[in-house]
Structures are given as C-alpha cells and as structure tokens.
Structure 1
Amino acid sequence: MSQQIIDSKTHENVSSIGRLLLDMGKITPEDTDRILRRQKEEGIKFGDAAKQLGLITEDDLQQVLSRQFDYAYLPAANAQYSADLVAAYQPFSTQVEGFRALRSQIMFRWLNEGFKAFTVVASDSGEGASYIAANLAVVFSQLGKKTLLIDGNMRQPRQHKIFNLKQSFGLSDILADRTPGAEALFNIPDFPNLTVLGAGTVPPNPQELIGRQNFPQLIKYASSIFDVIIIDSPAISAGSDAQMLASISRGAILVSRVHHTSIEQFRLLKNQVEGSGANIIGAVVNNY
C-alpha cells in the first residue's frame, strides 16, 4: 500500500511525455524521481532530462512525441514491415518530405475536388509503383485521413510483403466472390488510419476480374467509408490492367525511375493513361 501511495504522488508531477514513456516501458517508476530532480535542477523539459541522464535516446523521444501529437511512425528496431516503408521508419527525412509534397499536390488537385480514389501507374516493373503507393498510404494516414490501400497488381503483388499481411484472401477473392470484403481487409496496428486490401490469390484472369461490375461497386462502397483510396497497379507493359484501374478510379499518378525509364516510355505511359479516360493528377520521378 505504501509503495502505491509513493508511486501515485510521484506520478502527479510527471508530464504527459513522462506518462507515455512509462506506458511504453522506456523508463521505470524509479527513473521518474531522477528525471524530475534533473528537470528541476536544469530547468529543462522532462524528455530532455531523461535523455541527459541516458535513460532514453533521441529516437525514443521522437517516438513518444509522435504519439503525443498522434503522428504514427516506427522505430528502426521494429522490423515488422518492409524497410521500403520510409515514411514509417524515416518520417523526418528529406525523402519523405517528397512524399508529403506529393500528398499536398494530390489533395489540392484531386481530393479537394471531391474525388477519393486514384491509381499509381508505371510503364515497367521495377520502377517503384508499389513503393510509391505504400508510402503515400502511410503519409495520408499520418495526416489523419482514413486511408485504404488496394493492391490491384494481381500479377506480381507486393503490398502483402511490404505490410506483412497475414490474410491469404484479398482483392481477387472478393471479385471472384470467394470471400466477403470485410474478411480480406487488414487494419495496420501501428497506423490506426490505414487499412490494406492485398491482391489475394494470384488468379489466371486478372484483367477479366478488374472488368467485372463488382470492382467499381467496391470502389464506390469504399468511398463511403474512407477518405483516400490508393490503388497499386501492375506495369503498363504487363497488360491493360493499369489502364482499367486508372479508368475506374478516374485519377492516376505516373511513376518513372531515374536512369531506368526512357522519355519515350514515359510519353507512351502518359498517352495510354489519358487514353483510358483517367485524369493525370501528378507524376513522380523515383530515385530509390
């Protein structure tokens, strides 16, 4: 009983950051006394005092600040997802600033016009469409937008690997009426606003599945629940899947890669996407 009284009195002076550090297991109740004393002596913030005492690292402090400001990101030690998720693992990097700039462009040119869905398209495999789609999904979710990422690449899907999805069912299974949609959705625990729909079972007829009427119905239904719907697509060179996906979503982000995509390839990509009736919202020159 006496220990509980001591702990409760000590915690009365602990800042909100201190409480989060305790909840996360970064510091112990015994550490708080030392931190509070150093904080008073130096006239500094609780987190800075804890760092000065060597009880937490700068990464620990940034992580707890992200929780305090409802800005989810992952410490490098968390290897649950692919390192390709730079928006999750390196949110303060110059690289991720580029994703936030692209996010702003999409918001001003597309979402603010009343649209919600768009497709990420590249001319060839290896140009980074899946990488761009995944990181865009993370930065939109960090903004507080309810985000759905759909892996529409039913030829060579990647999002299940990037996000370490456990379900075997996905988009193809929904379109083939093999599973209810809700069972195929995966809410990403570390990103409360992010839901991923994997490609599912690799089918022999992806193009025909996309052409079914239930795909536009799926997008329409998802639009009533989510703020943003991002569709990853196979390369244009693999077939007309990407054009069909872009046509259904009505918007497209074009992806090229430095020292990989030729000007002629990009021009052809632009023409094919415009030919599908989709609006080109923006273009990304990828250098990963």
Structure 2
Amino acid sequence: MALFRRKEKKLEDKSMKYGVDLYTLSNPTSTIAEQFKTIRTNIQFSMIDRKLETLLVTSAGPSEGKSTVSSNLAVTWAGQGKNVLLVDADLRRPTVHQTFQVSNSQGLTTLLTNPKLNLDQAITETAIDHLYVLPSGPIPPNPAELLATERMNHLIEALKEHFDLVLFDVPPVISVTDTQILASKVDGTILVTPQGIVEKAAILKAKELLDKVHARILGTVMNRVTPQNSGGYYGGYYGGYYGTDDKK
C-alpha cells in the first residue's frame, strides 16, 4: 500500500510540473482523439433537454485522470468551433497553466480576490483556435471559502456570457469540499473512474457527496481500460484510450 501511495504522488508531481498530455492535439486522427469526440457527443446528448453552458470534471481520488479528461475535452469541444474556456479550479494542485504553457501569475484566485482585475487580464488565449484558459492563479490559503463566495457566482455568470462552454477542472471530490461547492453551481458533472484502480466504495462515496449538493451527474468516464478487461471491446470504453501513465 505504501508503494502505491508513493507512485501516486510521483504522478501528481509530474502533472503539476509538466501538465497533462493533449492526445487530441498531438494526434487528432487517432483512436484516442475519436473516443474523446464520442465522450463529447454523449455529453451533448445527455443535455438535449437543456443548454449546456458549464461542465465540471472530477474524480473520486487523486491521480485518476480528471485533468487529462478535462483538458482533452476542452480541445475537442473547441474543434467544433465553440468558444471554450477551461478553468483550473483545482486551487490546490493546478496543472492547466503547465499543460497549455501559460502564465499563472493571474487567474481564478486573483479574479476572486481583486475586484479591480478584469477578465481580459486573467484569461489567456491558447494556440488552439477557440480555446481559452483561466489558470488557477496563486494558490490561496482558503480555496473552499473563495469558491463559495457570491463573487464566484457572479464570475460564473460573467464567463457564460463570453463563452459557449465553460469547463471546470476541479479537485477530487472525496479529498476536499471545493468540488461539491462548484458542482452545485454548474449544469453538469462528469466523474472520471480509472478501471482497476479506484475502489467501488470510493465511487459510491463520490456519488453520495455529489448527490448531497444536488449535482447533475451526466455520467462517468472510465479510463485506463486494458484490452484484457474490456470484454473484447476496448475502443468502446471511455478513457482507456490514453494508456496507464496519465497523471491527474
């Protein structure tokens, strides 16, 4: 068990230092990229009765692939010509600024703590058409308190006016309360579950925590699926597409 924890920490540190892999950008015609398009399509169909403007991606625990999924989904959505904003709302272990190689000096925390700062000063255009990022900004001492403010509510409404989709990368739901706070404010939540790693009890606990705040769970993305465990239908599962070394 101790060995597993050390490996998990190593993966987390790597994602914080280098970001996560953008498979949908490096090889957009690959099977992996196509599977992310399938995820996007299924999410869109799950929201057919209402407009999807804000989406949250989380996992039960750390190092389960939620940042890889959120970043690649953002790239895939932008590929439709939609103006997409990826918000790094993981104010404890942020990765978005490293993934997209942008400055983290200004971001979500500075927007929430500095009333004089405007969106243009914190949001960064990426090299990908139609994709913008709002990095975390400096890590605060009170992430949950910041996210629970009325100012955060106003910020979400302002972002919805400027973008077709606002996608939030947040901490694991079991670890801290940050995710519950934001899940209660968005249109839909996606739970990332790595096959063979996360325990059933953890998934049930994550769902229980999200249900408590009346989060709208649109579905799960199963990643790290292997051909041996896929019942002969490897390409049909969400997520195994990017292998077993994804970070967050």
Instruction: Say which of 200, 222, 234 aligns to 2:137.
Output: 200
1:188 is matched with 126
State whether structure 2 residue 90 is matched by structure 1 residue 153. Answer: yes
- Residues 1:223 and 2:160 are matched in the alignment: yes
Structure 1 residues not aligned, in runs of 5+: 1-80
2:6 aligned residue? none
Q: CA RMSD in A?
A: 1.6
Post-superposition offset of 1:272: 1.1
Tell me the residue number matched to 1:91. Answer: 28
Inter-partner Cα distance in structure 1 for 2:37 and 2:188: 18
Greater helix content: 1
Paired AA for residue 85 in structure 1:
L
Candidates 172, 183, 186, aligned match of 2:109: 172
Choose from 262, 271, 286 the match for 2:208.
271
Match of 1:231, SS state, is strand
Cα deviation digits, residues 169-213 of structure 1 (max 9, x gap): 110111111632220101012x12001000000000000000111
Pair 1:106-2:6 in alignment: no
Give 1:110 shift: 2.3
After superposition, give the CA deviation of every residue in 1:53-81 in whole Å (9 maximum; x if it has no partner): xxxxxxxxxxxxxxxxxxxxxxxxxxxx9
Question: 1:83–1:122: structure 2 CA closer, same or farther, 3 Å change rule?
Answer: closer
Larger RCO (CA under 8 A, 6+ residues apart): 2
Shift of 1:250: 3.4
Question: Aligned equivalents of 2:162 and 2:219: distance in 1?
Answer: 25
SS of equivalent to 1:144: coil
- Moved segments of 4+, more than 2 Å: 178-181
Give the direction of change, closer, same or farther, for the CA distance of 1:211–1:252 in structure 2 (3 Å limit): same
Identity %: 31
Q: Distance in 1 between matches of 2:182 and 2:192?
A: 15
TM-score by length of 1: 0.69
Highest Rg: 1 or 2?
A: 1
Could you tell me which runs of 5 or more consecutive residues in structure 2 were left unpaired when the two chains were aligned: 1-17, 225-242, 244-248
Distance 2:214 2:80 in 1: 29
Could you say what secondary structure the match of 1:281 adopts? strand
SS at match of 2:185: helix
Q: Structure 1, residues 79-104: CA drift from partner, whole Å, max 9, x if none?
A: xx956000100111111221111100
Paired residue for 1:140?
77
Evaluate the alpha carbon distance shift between residue 285 and residue 176 of structure 1 in structure 2; reply closer, same or farther with a 3 A threshold. Answer: same
Aligned counterparts of 1:217 and 1:281: Cα–Cα separation in 2: 24
Q: Which amino acid aligns with 1:87?
A: T
Contact 1:116 1:229 in 2 (8 A): yes
Please show how residues 245-284 of structure 1 align to structure 2 within 5 Å. 245-284=182-221
Quick check: 1:83–1:89 contact (8 Å CA) kept in 2? no
Contact 1:105 1:282 in 2 (8 A): no
Q: 1:270 to 1:224 in 2, by over 3 A?
A: same
- Partner secondary structure for residue 133 of structure 1: helix
How high is the TM-score relative to the length of structure 2? 0.80
